[in-house]
Amino acid sequence: MLHRMSGILLTLFLPLHFWALGHALGGTAKLESFLIWTDQPLVKASEIAVVTLLAAHLAGGLRLLMLEFLAWRDWQQRLLAAAAGITVGFGLVYLLNVV
């Protein structure tokens, strides 16, 4: 469920990402004003959330690939815990680099 929810939320983030990239096409002044806007605490928190969602989606996808291609079907609970640990770990590492 976490893998699917993170995928949906990342899909909702994608148009915002393209909108932000579009500011680079508008010239340096427009991009610079956008980058100043991104220094707000709410935007920084959103960045941390996006990185955590990416880590959750990556960890969940790796877990699904392992379940599909490896004979570890009895280890599902451990793989789920590992995926959650990796997700939290990536989010915390990013948080430490942003703050």
Q: How many domains does the chain have?
A: 1
Distance CA 60, CA 82 (A): 9
Task: Answer yes or no: are the C-beta atoms of 53 and 3 closer than 8 Å.
Answer: no
Kindly tell me if the per-residue pLDDT of 75 is higher than 80. Answer: no
Distance CA 69, CA 88 (A): 25
- Provide the whole-model pTM: 0.61
In tens, the pLDDT along 30-68 reads 888 888 888 888 888 888 888 888 888 888 888 788 777
The residue range of the domain holding 14 is: 2-98
Helix ranges, 1-99 (H):
2-25, 28-37, 41-69, 76-98
CATH number at 45 reads 1.20.1300.10
